[in-house]
Amino acid sequence: MKVRQKLLIAGGFAGALVGVIAAFLYIKANEGRVAAVEAGEAEQMNAVSPGEAISVGLSLLGVLRLISELGRKK
């Protein structure tokens, strides 16, 4: 197996793991609302505001930039 394939597979697993951890933390932070939705007391979760979504998106872009610079010689 080529190095590129190994890196893509490892990156895919790492990304999936980070996604599961992020979902767990989101659920943990909103346990009351999740319980209300599951019990039928509320119809849906509160929407994430556009400002929060943009903030998270820009933070993720920053992390991706840092990852892309790993291993580069300066």
**pLDDT in 10s for each residue of the chain, 74 residues:** 899 999 999 999 999 999 999 999 999 998 888 888 888 888 888 888 999 999 999 999 999 999 989 878 76
Tokens linked to 56: 């998270």
Contacts for 42 with CB less than 8 Å, ≥ 6 apart: 33, 36
Q: How far is CA 25 from the centre of its chain?
A: 10
pLDDT at residue 3, rounded to an integer: 93
pLDDT on residue 40: 86
